[in-house]
Amino acid sequence: MIQPQQITPPMSAERAREIAATFDLRALPADFLANPFPVYALLREHEPVRRMPDGSLFLTRHADLMAVYRDAAVFSSDKHVEFAPKYGVGSPLYEHHTTSLVFNDPPLHTRVRKLIMGALTRRAIADMEPGLVTLVDQLLDRIEAQGGGDLVEDFASAIPVEIIGNLLGVPHADRGPLRDWSLAILGALEPVPTPEQHAAGNRSVTEMLAYLRTLVAARRQAPGDPERDVLTRLIQGEASGEKLSEVELLQNCIFLLNAGHETTTNLIGNGLILMQEFPAQRKQLLADLRTAGTDEAAREQVLTLAVDECLRFESSNQLGNRRALTAATVGGVALDAGALVTLCIGAANRDPAVYDQPETLNLRREGNKHLAFGFGIHQCAGLSLARLEGRIAIGRFLARFPRFELSAPPVRGGRARFRGFLSAPFRTA
Ligand code: HEM
């Protein structure tokens, strides 16, 4: 069984300062990914605006991340400058990432976001709930028949692929390669991707583009309901006549398919593995759900708090990036125009200045202002959908298998940016 996460071990003040003062995201210690939180705590305390050897800054305080998120005019999301040396101008990864809304500033960002948000309305998301419940129950039936399985392979990763596939109207028969494409394209965002990660990412963008061209052509022939169908909405553009170019359309479809995929898989996988790591919390959550009984609103409230705490404690997306367009100051440190900034969501989410007992998982935590979905103009466009998936998946899994246990140590994805597991074998009881 996994031991509860360790808080910063006892060490001399000198050693603590040294660890913070030598932190380099491009040269992480071997044991960092298993538990980065003690290092984040040292950074927050001793080097909250850490200037790394490549000159970029690594921010770990909640208030500093908020200041950057709030000032989108100074802190740009546009990655043309940063990604040119990383991927090579004209490479599939470069074209993809520099055209997606998340890595652009207004006006492209605003145009695409408006179209996506128009289809992700509260009603549209509520309409997805019955299908989601059916899907989750079918997965649970299969797991029950086998007496267990793999939390990630057989459950967590099987949910977002269907939800996002439905959102864009990808036929079921075509969904097979979506997960691998997504893992490869987002994997290339690692601080220092390997040559294999570069190659797999480029190949996946090319394959995905080819696939989406045929999907878009078919949808142009037979449009869906633009109130519900994101792809039809992106194709048709706004009523005002503002349309996306073909490249903008295809690249943002790729982004959308990827954005809601690994992140949500990791929310569900991390959440369930936390239940195993913190048995007292699991017990309390099960008791709260029993008390809520058949009162759907009460159950939703209990699960909403639990899901948000899982997101705070083990954020699927640990890092974000911005570039200062002009000279600026963050956390009292002056930055030159052009400075690159890494926002460490995982560290900000455990900032003692904001959270009571931040290193403790508390599934009843109220007023949880975590930054797992970012903040400001780029705040996750799919957050309500992700929360719904988390509630239904974790809630129904626990209701069916309240005493499930891992049967072997879970295997980490091995990435600094996206935090989650590749596999986690378990028994239902
Ligand atoms: C637990 C699941 C998820 C997490 C942790 C997550 C996290 C994030 C974060 C941190 C950002 C902001 C990036 C930045 O500021 O640079 C973001 C943006 C975005 N996410 Fe999510 N996400 C999740 C699920 C989803 C889902 C299900 C969808 C799709 C339906 C989605 C669609 C998007 C989009 C379109 C953006 C770009 C928004 C913009 O640039 O305006 N995400 N997400």
Torsion on CA atoms 260, 262, 265, 266, rounded to nearest 10: -120
Percent of the chain with pLDDT over 70: 97
Residue 118's region, left for phi above 0, alpha for psi from -120 to 50, else beta, is alpha
Give the pLDDT mean for 364-390: 97
How far apart (Å, rounded) are the C-alpha atoms in residues 95 and 311?
30
Q: What is the pLDDT of residues 153-186, one digit of tens each?
A: 999 999 999 998 988 889 999 999 998 999 899 8
| pLDDT confidence tier of residue 239, bands split at 50, 70 and 90 | low
Give the pLDDT mean for 373-386: 97
Q: What is the pLDDT of residues 30-39, one digit of tens each?
A: 889 999 999 9
321-333 burial string, b = 16+ CB within 10 Å, else e? bbbbbeebebeee
Q: Which residues have CB under 8 Å from 134's CB, separation 6+?
A: none
CA of 407 to the centre of ligand 1 (A): 32
Instruction: Provide the 8-state DSSP code for 317.
Output: B
Task: Say how many domains are in the chain.
Answer: 1
More confident residue, 411 or 233: 411
Q: Which residues have CB under 8 Å from 219's CB, separation 6+?
A: 169, 229, 231, 232, 235
Confidence check: pLDDT of 3 > 50: no
- Please give the mean pLDDT across all residues of the chain: 93
CA of 291 to the centre of ligand 1 (A): 33
Confidence check: pLDDT of 300 > 60: yes
pLDDT at 243: 84
List, chain by chain if needed, residues with CB within 6 Å of any ligand 1 atom.
77, 101-102, 109, 113, 116, 256, 259-260, 263-264, 267, 316-317, 320, 372-374, 378, 380-382, 385-386
Confidence check: pLDDT of 221 > 90: yes
Give, for ligand 1, the residue of 132, 370, 371, 380 to mutate: max count of ligand atoms closer than 8 Å to Cβ: 380
More confident residue, 237 or 156: 156
Domain of residue 119: give its range.
4-428
Give the position, in ligand 1's atom list, of the atom nearest the Cα of 345.
10
Cα angle for residues 317, 323, 328 (degrees, 5° grid):
120
**For ligand 1, atom 6: residue with the closest CA:** 373
How far apart (Å, rounded) are the C-alpha atoms in residues 221 and 214?
11
**For ligand 1, atom 34: residue with the closest CA:** 381
DSSP 198-226: HHHHHHHHHHHHHHHHHHHHHHHHS---T
The pTM score is 0.94
State both tokens at 122: 């509260």
3-class secondary structure, 256: helix
Q: Do 122 and 146 contact (CB within 8 A), yes or no?
A: no
Among all chains, which residue has been given the structure tokens 């633009």?
Answer: 226
Q: What are the angstrom distances between the C-alpha of 118 and each of 8, 136, 239?
A: 45, 26, 12
Give the pLDDT mean for 289-306: 96
**For ligand 1, atom 26: residue with the closest CA:** 260
Residue 323 phi, psi (nearest 5): -130, 130
Confidence check: pLDDT of 142 > 80: yes
Confidence check: pLDDT of 44 > 70: yes
Helices (runs of H) and strands (runs of E) counted in the chain: 17, 12
How far apart (Å, rounded) are the C-alpha atoms in residues 311 and 296?
22
How far apart (Å, rounded) are the C-alpha atoms in residues 271 and 274?
5
pLDDT at 167: 86
How far apart (Å, rounded) are the C-alpha atoms in residues 224 and 222?
7
Q: What is the pLDDT of residues 383-410, one digit of tens each?
A: 999 999 999 999 999 999 999 999 999 9
For residue 107, whether the previous peptide bond is cis, meaning omega lies within 30 degrees of 0, is yes
How far apart (Å, rounded) are the C-alpha atoms in residues 98 and 177?
23
Q: Do 389 and 159 contact (CB within 8 A), yes or no?
A: yes
Q: What is the pLDDT of residues 269-281, one digit of tens each?
A: 999 999 999 999 9
| pLDDT confidence tier of residue 7, bands split at 50, 70 and 90 | very low
pLDDT at 122: 86
Indicate which CATH number applies to the domain containing 169: 1.10.630.10
Percent of the chain with pLDDT over 90: 81
CA of 387 to the centre of ligand 1 (A): 12
pLDDT at 18: 93
pLDDT at 225: 83
Q: Is 427 exposed, middle or buried (0-12, 13-18, 19+ CB in 10 A)?
A: middle
CA of 11 to the centre of ligand 1 (A): 37
